[in-house]
Amino acid sequence: MKVYKDSKIYIQCTALLATGGPELMHQFASYLISRGVETYMIYTDVSPDNVTVNASLRHYHIPYTHEIDDDEKNILIVSEIGTDMLYTAGELKLRKVIWWLSVDNFYKKLSTTYEDLATHTLSKRFTRCYSFEDDMEVEHWAQSEYAKRFLMYNGVPEEKIKKVSDYLNLIFLDGLIARNHYRDLSESKEDIVLFNPKKGIEFTEKLIAFAPDIKWVPIINMSRMEVLNYLLKAKVYIDFGNHPGKDRIPREAAVSECVVITGRRGAAANAIDVPIDEKYKFDDTDDNISLIIDKIRYVFQNYNSCKNDFDCYIESIFREPLKFRQEVDATLDLSDLVFNPTVCILDNTNDSMLKLAAFLGSTGKYKVEFVVNNTLNGQCLKFLDKELCFINVGYARQLYLEGRINKFMCTQMIQNNQEYYLNLLKNIGVDDVDWEINKIN
């Protein structure tokens, strides 16, 4: 699908949830912006007059809109639970994509929609869901092998399905590497089984009742850091839920060196989405309860050998960010776009910061979007018809890893304090910096 210099891409998403799907949509939008594509989120779960984005997604700094420029050069991308956007008054001229981030959630949406229909009178408008009509003229993307097989089963030719998967948060992956957790966690591991109580809880409760002496810890009402700490501490993570797509938490558990034990529902049924040894997959039947408990106890006693069974899975997870970008590049033709590096300014005075921003903007070579300022983090400043966003060091690191920030520049005003800023950049992971000194005296 061709993306032109003046194309606009609109991405339907929820604003309030911080699950894997919304984060992927924001990661995707961030990558498009880094490549020079004019990209907007369309949030479908908040009022246009009161847009509140989940705090864990704000640092991506993705612009949003509720108005679509219906032009043939533009593209609308919706998730499988946002397909009702495809049924608007009249025909949409812009190109359309359904990104199947899950399969099961599509059916949940359908069941809710038809339940709503039963309560509607004929005078009320019924919001439709996608039902594989031949004349819809949409392109299909699959986040998982599970979704791809679902589409093929429903009559979509394999050659018309594009694989665009996802990756774990780069700060999460980078933090594991930086703290050397990836090399050896065995000394800090404990006989703990983690589980997500939102998935497969009925069967998990049977496991808990069968072995009450085991320490079972639900991942619920935890901060992001608390979840990470438990993943680093536990030896086992179980997931007997429905696996609607290539789920995030099993991968986070694996790279945290938990032994992952799953059922065979949804995406877990195939060896592409959940590529773990078959001896760690069990049907969630009563006959298997004792076998699963035996496996958990075996892992507790033989953790160091069992964790080696996940080396290939872990390596594939660390390769996912690059694979994702390659998949996007193979799916969207971005060859017409011009790349201008995005600059983040390091400075401690507004005067010199604005002077540098004005100079860089006048060259036409750079996009100046961010300023590192921990005190003003989250605020934005309108300047020369553009918006400068203040971010803290942590978000600067995230955006640098994502490719949204390509260069850091400093002014003469802080030349005498270079050591401080060089240490700051070292924490971000930047080895070099441009000191814009003589050009803006």
In a domain, 334, yes or no: no
> Do residues 209 and 309 both lie within one domain?
yes
Residue 28 has pLDDT above 80, yes or no: yes
Q: Is residue 226 part of a domain?
A: yes
Q: Are residues 150 and 179 located together in one domain of the fold?
A: no
CB 255 within 8 A of CB 248: no
Write out pLDDT tens, residues 278-304: 999 999 999 999 999 999 999 999 999
Q: How far, in whole angstroms, is CA 372 from its chain's centroid?
A: 23
**Domain's final residue, options 166, 201, 227:** 166
Domain match, 246 and 346 both: no
Domain containing 294: what range?
A: 170-321
Tell me if 326 is assigned to some domain: no
Strands (E), 30-80: 38-43, 75-79
CATH of the domain at 220: 3.40.50.2000
CB 37 within 8 A of CB 337: yes
For residue 329, being part of any structural domain is answered with: no
Same-domain status, 92 and 161: yes
Task: State pTM to two decimals.
Answer: 0.87
Q: Residues 305, 373: one domain?
A: no
Task: State whether 298 and 364 are in the same domain.
Answer: no
Number of structural domains (the chain) is 3
Is residue 404 within 8 A of residue 343, CB to CB? The reply is no
Q: Are residues 12 and 147 in the same domain?
A: yes
- Convert the pLDDT of each residue in 102-135 to its tens digit: 998 888 877 765 555 445 444 444 456 677 767 7
Residues 263 and 393 in one domain: no
Q: How many Cβ atoms are within 10 Å of 119's Cβ, its own excluded?
A: 7
Judge if 112 and 212 occupy the same domain: no
250 in any annotated domain: yes
Tell me, yes or no, whether 41 lies in a domain: yes
pLDDT of 256 reads: 92
Does any domain span residue 25?
yes
Any idea what the CATH number is for the domain that residue 418 is in?
A: 3.40.50
Do 130 and 98 touch, CB atoms closer than 8 A?
A: yes
Last residue of a domain, one of 133, 166, 199: 166
User: Is residue 13 domain-shared with residue 156, that is, in the same domain?
Assistant: yes
- The residue whose two tokens read 């429905």 is 242
- Same domain, yes or no, for 179 and 155? no
Partners of 246 in the β-ladder:
none
In a domain, 3, yes or no: no
- Domain's final residue, options 136, 166, 196: 166
pLDDT in tens, 166-219: 999 887 887 766 555 445 655 689 999 999 998 899 999 999 999 999 999 999
186 and 93 inside one domain: no
Helical segments of 188-223, H only: 201-210
